Structure formats: C-alpha cells, structure tokens
Amino acid sequence: MQTKFTLLEIAAHIGAELHGDPSVVISSINTLGQASDGQITFLDNPRYRKYLPDTKASAVILTKNDQDACVTNVLITNNPYLAYAKIAALFDRKPKITAGIHPTAIIGEHCQIDPSASIGPYSVIGADVIIHAGVCVGAHCVVNEESVIGAHSRLWDNVKVYQHVIIGEHVIIHSGAVIGCDGFGNANEQGKWIKVPQLGGVRIGNEVEIGANTTIDRGALGDTIIEYGVRLDNQIQIAHNVQIGAHTAIAACTGIAGSTKVGKYCLIGGGVGISGHIEIADKVMITGMSGVTNSIKQAGIYSSTMPVMPQQEWWKALAYFRKIAEIVKKWRKLEKFIKNNSIESEK
Amino acid sequence: MQTKFTLLEIAAHIGAELHGDPSVVISSINTLGQASDGQITFLDNPRYRKYLPDTKASAVILTKNDQDACVTNVLITNNPYLAYAKIAALFDRKPKITAGIHPTAIIGEHCQIDPSASIGPYSVIGADVIIHAGVCVGAHCVVNEESVIGAHSRLWDNVKVYQHVIIGEHVIIHSGAVIGCDGFGNANEQGKWIKVPQLGGVRIGNEVEIGANTTIDRGALGDTIIEYGVRLDNQIQIAHNVQIGAHTAIAACTGIAGSTKVGKYCLIGGGVGISGHIEIADKVMITGMSGVTNSIKQAGIYSSTMPVMPQQEWWKALAYFRKIAEIVKKWRKLEKFIKNNSIESEK
Amino acid sequence: MQTKFTLLEIAAHIGAELHGDPSVVISSINTLGQASDGQITFLDNPRYRKYLPDTKASAVILTKNDQDACVTNVLITNNPYLAYAKIAALFDRKPKITAGIHPTAIIGEHCQIDPSASIGPYSVIGADVIIHAGVCVGAHCVVNEESVIGAHSRLWDNVKVYQHVIIGEHVIIHSGAVIGCDGFGNANEQGKWIKVPQLGGVRIGNEVEIGANTTIDRGALGDTIIEYGVRLDNQIQIAHNVQIGAHTAIAACTGIAGSTKVGKYCLIGGGVGISGHIEIADKVMITGMSGVTNSIKQAGIYSSTMPVMPQQEWWKALAYFRKIAEIVKKWRKLEKFIKNNSIESEK
C-alpha cells in the first residue's frame, strides 16, 4: 500500500481547493494540536480552532471561513470531517486479507463460497451457507446453516452468526458480535417459564456497521431488520423483531426491546433504553442515558439524561423529589387559602 | 422433522378446544396481521385484536371471549401465548445435532463425556470435566477444569465456562456468554489495587436460559447461584456471590452487583442496575432502566424509570429539579410568613 | 501447589501479629459466618461483626479493635481485607499453565514469543507480534499484527486483540474482552454515513485487569490509553481516544464516550455513562447508574443515582416533576402577589 501522497494527490482525492504548495509530501494524518511536518490535519470542531495559528502540520483541511487564520498549506472544503474520513482511508493500515479458505476452516455441505472470499483459521461454516465475492471472515467465526454473507462484507475475528441470517453487502461486524441468537420469549405456565422458540431470522442491509460484542436477536415470527447504512456501536442489544430504519446511528450500550420500530436518520445516544412495541419517528435524536417508554411521533431531540451533582446536593434534591407530591399538595392548600383570604379581604 | 400438522393434531398437542375443520393442514405459524392460508396464529395482546376480523390465517388460537369475533377455525385455550409457545416448538428449525465428539475438539484428561453428548468443532474441554447425556456443546466453546454440564443442556457456539462451574440439566446458554470469570475483588494497599483471588464457583440450576454475551462471575468465597428455571436475557452482568431465586426473569443489559440476593418469581426489566449486598423479596417487579440501591422487602412493582421529554422541556424541568431544595426553602419561608401574618390579622 | 499452611506461616506471609496457637493447620478460607474448623476468615465490613463471637473458624484476621470480641486464634493487621486478598492468593486453585505453544496454535511470521510463554489451543497470533516471558494466552485467542503482550500477562480464553495494541506486564484480561476494535467514527455525506478509519492503537499499562466482554476501542488518531494499575470490571465500553488514569477502578456496565480523560484514583460505579470530550479530575467518585455530561474539576463524590420507589408513588412524583416548571411559575406568581399585598398592607 502506498504510504505517501503529494498534497495535489490528496486534494484531487477529496475534491478540495488547494492553496499552497501542491508538491508537499504527506505521509500521515494527525490532530491539529499534534500534527507535525509531513502530516496533514483538519479543523472541524470549533473548540480546536485555537490550535490553528500555531499548527506545525504541512497542510490543514478547513472551510473557507477559517482560511485566513491558517499559516500553512490549506485544502478548502465544505465538510472537513468528511474529507478527513476519506484521507484517513488512504493511510489505513489494517491487516492485509488473502483470498481463500484457510486449511483449518471447516466448511459445511452445499455451501457456495466465492473464490475471492477469505475464510480465516478455525472458522466454522454450516451447511448451505452462501458467501459472496470479496467477503472476509476472520478467525474463530461461526456462520450457521443457510445464512448468507453479501459481497465485500467483513466479519472480524470471533463473530457468531446463527442460522438463517441474511447479511448485506459491504457490512462490517466487529469481534464478539452475535447475530441471530434467540429473542427473550417466555410464556408462563403456572409460574414456570416455557421457552417460546424463536422461528424468525435477521436481515441486515448493505453498508451496515456493527460494533464489538453487540447482540442482535432473531425474530420470534418474522425477522429482526437492520436497514441500509445503519451504524451500531459496541455492546448494543437489539431484541427480537426490532426494525432499525436506514441511516440511523446508535451509540454504545443502548438496548432496544422487542418489536420496536426505530425510524430512519435517527441519532440515538449511548446507554439509552427503549421499550418494546413502540415506534420512533424518522429524524429523532435521543440523548445518552435516556429512557424511551412511549412512541415518539415527531422528529426532534428528546432527553431524560440526568447529570450528576455533588452527592450532598444530589441527596437533598432527591429527598425533595421523592416527596414532591406532598409538597405540591401543601402548596396548593396554601394557594387556596390565600385566594380565599384575599377575596375575603377584598369584600 | 415433520413440518405439517392437521389442526386436530395441533389441538391435541396443546389441549385446546377445536371449533372448525379438524383436517385443515397447518405448515407454519405467523402473526395475526400477517398470517395467510395454511398458517396458524394467535391472539394474546389485546392491541392486536383489531386484526382478528380480517385475518387470512387458517386457524387462530384464542380465549373463549374472542371466539365470536373470529371468522376462521379456532382453538380455544386459557393461555394463547403459552399455546403458541408449544406450537412454535413443533415448527422449530434449529440446526440438527449429532452425538459424538468432533475430531477437532480437544478433551482433557479424566473427563467423563456421555456418548450421547455432542462436542462441536474446536471446542476445548479441560481436565476432569463431566458432560452428561444429550448435552450439546457448540463450536469454539471452552469448559475448564472440573466443571460439569448437566444432561440435555445446550451451549451454543463460543460459550466460555471457567473452572469449577456446575451447570444443571436442560440449560441453554447463548453465544458469547462467559460463566465463572473472576469477580471484581480488589483490596487497596496504599492507593494500589491488589487482586482478591476469586476462590468460589458458579452453580446454575436446571432449566435456566442465559442470553448472548451475558457474564456471570464466580464467587469470591462460596458460589454465585442461579436457581431453577431462571431466565437471563442478553448482556446481563451477574457479579460474584449473587443469588437469583427460582423462576425469576431478567431482561437485557441489567447488572447486579456483588452478594445481592434476588428472590423467586421476580421480573426485572432491561437496563436495571442493582447495588451489592442487598436483598430483593420474592415476586418483586422492577421496571426497565431503574436503579435499586436498597433492599426491597415487599412484593410489588417498583420503578425509577425516567422517560424522555422534548429536550427544551427536559432542560427546564431539570433546571428546577437541580434547585428544588432552594425553591422549597423559599416556599416554606413564604408559608411561615403567611401563617404568621394571618395569625397576626386574626388577632 | 501447597494447600495447607500453619497459622505461623500465614502470619508471616501477611506480616500480621499472631495471638494464639501458631501450629494450627489452615487448609482453606471462608466467610466469618460460614468458616469452620481448619479454615481462616476475616472481619472487615462492620455489618458482619455480629458473627464474630460465634465463629467456628480456626483463626480470624482482624484489627486490634476487634481482638477482644474473638474467641479463637487471631491475626492482627491494619487492613484485614488486604490480608485476606493475600491469603486467598495462597489458596488459589486456578488451572495450571504449561509453557510452550500448543500444536494447534497458529503463529504468524516474524513473531517473537518467549519460550516461557504459553499459547493455548487454537489461538491465532498475527505477524510481527511480540509475546514476552511468562505470558499465558488461553484457548481461542487472537492477537493481531504488530501487537505486544508484556511479561507475565494473562489472556483468558477467547480474548481478541486487534492489530497495533500494546499491552503491559502483569495484565489480566478475561474471556470475551475485545481490545482495539474500531471506534465509532462516522462522517456524514448528505445523510449517508462514511466510515472514519480508526488509525490509532491502544496502550494498556502494567498491572491492569480487564473484565469479561469489556470492549476497548482503538484511537481514531493517537491511542486509547489505560494507565498503570487500572481495574475494569465486566462489560465496560471504552471508546476511542479515552484515557483512564492510573489506579482508577470502574465497575461493570459503565460506558465512556470518545476522547474523555478520566483522572487517577477515581472510583466509578456500575452502569455509569460518561459523555465524550470531557475531563474528570483525580480522586473523583461517581455512584452507580449516574450520568456525567460535563467535566468534573474537583475531587469528591458525584451522583445522579435515582433509586426506585413503589410504582404508584414514582408515577405521582414523576408527574409533578414533568410539570415542575409550570408549578414553580405559579408559585412565583403567588409569591409576588403576596409580597405586593403585604407591602400594600404595610403602607
């Protein structure tokens, strides 16, 4: 892989307007505060603008507005963070992938595995699995019976895909993720739980990314569905028959209960809990650590994030909160008394 | 496996009263809204009753009360959800299990493995392990020294069982679960943490189900105990020396801190946090995303679930909440003033 | 491993003052309430002092203050919990480790693996990995390209280490942990997410312990850093470019968002959520289930732990909380009215 580029090559790659020396050689990328000679950097978050006048970087990607404050070569673009993403892809040093099935991989009967796919050591592929072109399955993966991995998708090491799971193209799944495990279905027979067999599957759209140790349950009846372009961070739990709309991004440690439907273009923070059997509209944003117990019908930002206070103050506030009903009752009595009284005195 | 049943066979299987054509052939199961010809469905949650008059299903399982609203064959039962669970078991298409030890599995010294058990590819069984009849251990599992897996239990792929863990019969454990890892024991020596070796084990009762990526710590001294029939969803954390009473069900992403004892027949929602060294009585229900910091001595429903509001409204409520102590103080001063005043004026 | 010790040997091991019979033989350790003949126990948490007069233990570790209440042999020390940790290490029965590379382990090119290290069955070591003396890598581990495992560290079974991760000495990592997976970096291009390649690494200091199924993302640019002596419990999520200061301990199920810097000697409870791009000072304690959205600049205890109430009471409190702005507004109007009125009446 090439590891050095001229500024001209980089400008062309991201479609940016170049001001400065096009022949400068860039060998890596770094933050505005830490970049040095030979490195390119970017200014996106305004809180880092203070580093701009003193940057040692060989080039800075920024918007037209910040151009004058910069003392080195610049690449002008409307979306510096996006430009950074594209340049970072040039310098990505991920391990190389070699096509072919590792001799220790175990392949079930009647599988269709494209010759351009790579199956890592000790991975176990069940019967009737289809693995398309350019797929990379890491070490210690399992893909169970009748599942499908779409072209150019990557399963990192130790991804477990249960049976009858359909994964799209250009999907990335990180280590420890489990796709298609049983949903939490339990019927009660005189106090004892009877397992409800989970007969559905999971369908994951193209260009989805799924974080490490995230779990996605198979449907009870019908499928759990993750639509096109969704981004799931680490340690997310998606219960059976949930549907996540296209282009929605969900941060780590969030859990979504069964049969809930999340809209498209939603942004859901980390540590959020969403109840089952509800619907969340498109373009809803939920701040971290919030609880969602009812359907949200309108786009917008919603929150129940409770930030910390010094413990003594928190305990005081909490104590009043816990007797707020009583306090308001007293207050209303007083209000009534005053109103009666002042009416009296006006008489 | 048989994949078609007459309605008569199904009625007999669940002990339901059949009204309609007993010879109708049922080949699968589906939801009330989506079921079509040849499918059976059920009505349990009243919010789906609206689909009953127009269902295309060949048969519906329901209670006597809903019978008249149904236009097709019916099976009458007191608990349609339970009946559905039992019928779903008929149509379950889980991968077949073959008895025997896969040639790539590594078996330690002095193990006792029943010939009817199945040990999957690349699984590693430590010394002195006992695996009983009908057990299925998937691929990439580890069962460490002196652990025991009871009859007919199933470890899906990639379940990790540390040493000295006793698992009962008919237990199901999903991928990525870790049983018997060290509890979080740290003694402090002049600011530096010293590890407290975790010398206990884990005991898991019969008919327990444990979800994907759930972790159960071994005891520090004595065992962590999961009693008969408990249901644990995905990504639950059970700390050292916790005890979970029989028939309790816990939803995903809940964490229980060390030495806490949860009663029998409890229902604990998702994303709940429970402090260490407390006791929760039998038949306690905790709603999702709640925090439990003290023992609960009475059966009942408990909650601190904080649902989202539109962000502007939330911020306003939060601002008042954070100064609630000050507001109440002012209010009490006013109350005093009024009382004094009105006493004055009465004089 | 020796499994019996005289009380004299134990006293010498922990540097305690022995009162009683030094030749008593101790074969195991147990809790104060359950210890019997031949066992040693300890008194640390005052709530267990009630068991002291009736203990059946052969010896008790305690502080000078509790000496008189004890009826058996005693070992006196300032920190009984620490002494217990050290004695527990004597009785630890963890599986034995044998040096050497298991014949089924796959080792990449140009690795340096110390002959005293142990590499477990089916583990996969990438190219250019360095594994130092006394390291134990369990079964089914992956250590990817150019990563380093410091001397005497232990990876339990199924630990996944991505490329370019540097792990210190005497580190313990439990099953299912994933170190160095991609951070959650997504740039937006007209509604569609573009992956931001994560070019940094992870550096883990000496004597760190990492719990089961915990995930630590690699840096976007620069490294994610876990400093010396940090303790991470199970199912913790550490996002890209987070830095955790030395000797900080974090309980299970806590998530820390990107680029946040946590100080030294912090104690962070379970189920806590910490926002990205903030700083937390040294010696901060956060109680369980709290949310931290802003930097904390002062040592101290902080909380937003919301404990459960009986559901009816909670709903009532919640209802008032949700209209608290309106209530306070009314109250202030009343206050104004009264003030005006009483001024009036004073005229």
A2-11, B201-210, B274-283, C181-190: the lowest-pLDDT one: A2-11
* List of chain A residues whose C-beta atoms are within 8 Å of the C-beta of residue B121: 106, 124
Instruction: Report which of C55, B218, C23, B79 is spatially closest to residue A194, judged by C-alpha positions.
Output: B79
Q: Helix, strand, or coil here: C39?
A: strand
C296 and chain A in contact, CB less than 8 A? yes
Mean pLDDT for all residues in chain B:
94
Q: Which CATH class is domain A100-302?
A: mainly beta
Which among A271, A325, A342 has CB closest to C273? Answer: A271
Pairing of strands C186-189, C192-195: antiparallel
Q: In the predicted model, what is the mean pLDDT of residues C79-93?
A: 93
Predicted confidence at residue A97, as pLDDT, reads 83
Q: How far apart are CA C219 and CA C241, in angstroms?
A: 5
Q: Residues B51, A183, B256, C269: is their CA dihedral positive or negative?
A: negative
Contacting chains of A (3 CB pairs or more, <8 Å) are B, C
Tell me the CA distances in angstroms from B13 to A152, A170, B10, B90, B212, one per residue in order.
46, 45, 5, 9, 30
pLDDT tens digit sequence for C92-138: 877 778 899 999 999 999 999 999 999 999 999 999 999 999 999 99
Q: Which residues of C70-97 are buried (b: 16+ CB within 10 A; e: fewer)?
A: bebbbbbbebbbbbbbbbbebbeebbee
Choice among B174, B240, B247, B277 that is catalytic: B240
Q: Which of C86, C97, C170, C213 to mutate to test the interface with B (most CBs of B within 10 A)?
A: C213
A338 and chain B in contact, CB less than 8 A? yes
> How many CA atoms lie less than 13 Å away from C154 in the CB half-sphere?
15
Q: Do A324 and B322 touch (CB under 8 A)?
A: no
Q: What single-letter DSSP state applies at residue B324?
A: H
**Which amino acid does the sequence have at C256?**
I
Predicted confidence at residue C1, as pLDDT, reads 47
Predicted confidence at residue B332, as pLDDT, reads 86
Q: Which ranges constitute the DSSP H helices of chain C?
A: 7-14, 80-90, 311-322, 324-346
Instruction: Report which of C294, C299, C235 is spatially closest to residue C265, judged by C-alpha positions.
Output: C299
In angstroms, what separates the C-alpha of A241 from chain C's closest C-alpha?
A: 24
Choice among A164, A240, A247, A277 that is catalytic: A240
* pTM tops 0.90: yes
Q: How far apart are CA C77 and CA A67, in angstroms?
A: 66
Q: Helix, strand, or coil here: A25?
A: strand
- How far is residue A139 CA from its own chain's centroid? 23
Which among B193, B253, B307 has CB closest to C249? Answer: B193
pLDDT tens digit sequence for C307-329: 999 999 999 999 999 999 888 88
Tell me the β-bridge partners of C61. Answer: C42, C75
- How many CB atoms lie under 10 A from the CB of residue C279? 14
Q: Taking every pair of C-alpha atoms in chain A, what is the biggest distance, in angstroms?
A: 99
pLDDT tens digit sequence for B321-345: 999 988 888 888 888 888 777 655 5
At residue B95, what are phi and psi to the nearest 5 degrees? -55, 145
Predicted confidence at residue A93, as pLDDT, reads 77
State the catalytic residues of C: 240
Q: Is the pLDDT of residue C347 over 60?
A: no
Q: How far apart are CA B288 and CA B309, in angstroms?
A: 17
Contact call for residues A50 and A36 (beta carbons, < 8 A): no
Q: Which residues of chain A, if any, have pLDDT below 50?
A: 1, 347
A312, closest residue in chain B (CA to CA): B325
Q: Which ranges constitute the DSSP H helices of chain B?
A: 7-14, 80-90, 311-322, 324-346
Helical (H) or strand (E) element with A14: helix A7-14
| Residues 172 through 201 of chain A touching chain C, CB cutoff 8 Å | 172, 174-176
* List of chain A residues whose C-beta atoms are within 8 Å of the C-beta of residue B234: 178, 181, 184, 215, 217, 237
Strand order in the sheet with B279-280: B112-113, B130-131, B148-149, B165-167, B202-204, B224-226, B243-244, B261-262, B279-280
Helical (H) or strand (E) element with A346: helix A324-346
Q: How far apart are CA C68 and CA B257, in angstroms?
A: 33
Q: How far apart are CA A182 and CA A178, in angstroms?
A: 10
Q: How far apart are CA C159 and CA C219, in angstroms?
A: 19
Predicted confidence at residue B104, as pLDDT, reads 98
Predicted confidence at residue A346, as pLDDT, reads 52
Contact call for residues B228 and B245 (beta carbons, < 8 A): no
Tell me the β-bridge partners of C6. Answer: C25
Strand order in the sheet with A73-76: A17-19, A73-76, A59-62, A39-42, A28-29
Q: Which ranges constitute the DSSP H helices of A24-174?
A: 80-90
Q: In the predicted model, what is the mean pLDDT of residues B305-328?
A: 94
Contact call for residues B255 and B261 (beta carbons, < 8 A): no
Predicted confidence at residue B340, as pLDDT, reads 79
Q: How far apart are CA A35 and CA A71, in angstroms?
A: 14
Pairing of strands C5-6, C25-26: antiparallel
B120 and chain A in contact, CB less than 8 A? yes
**CATH superfamily ID and name for A5-90:** MurE/MurF, N-terminal domain (3.40.1390.10)
* R_g (Cα) of chain A, nearest Å: 27
The two three-digit tokens of residue B261, written as one number: 């004892």
Task: Write the DSSP assignment of C120-165 as a string of letters.
Answer: -TT-EE-TT-EE-TT-EE-TT-EE-TT-EE-TT-EE-TT-EE-SSE
Q: Is the pLDDT of residue B62 over 90?
A: yes
| Residues 249 through 268 of chain B touching chain A, CB cutoff 8 Å | 249, 251-253, 265
Q: How far apart are CA B235 and CA B208, in angstroms?
A: 16
**CATH superfamily ID and name for C101-302:** Hexapeptide repeat proteins (2.160.10.10)
Tell me the CA distances in angstroms from B160 to C3, C171, C185, C207, one per residue in order.
27, 20, 31, 24
Pairing of strands C291-292, B231-232: unpaired
Q: Do A253 and C239 touch (CB under 8 A)?
A: no
Active site residue A170: no
Contacting chains of B (3 CB pairs or more, <8 Å) are A, C
Length, in residues, of chain A: 347
Which among C235, C239, C338 has CB closest to A338? Answer: C338
Q: Helix, strand, or coil here: C199?
A: coil
* R_g (Cα) of chain C, nearest Å: 27
pLDDT tens digit sequence for B87-131: 999 998 777 788 999 999 999 999 999 999 999 999 999 999 999
| Residues 11 through 70 of chain B touching chain C, CB cutoff 8 Å | none
Q: What single-letter DSSP state applies at residue C92?
A: -
Portion of chain C with pLDDT greater than 90, in percent: 87
In angstroms, what separates the C-alpha of C278 from chain B's closest C-alpha?
A: 20
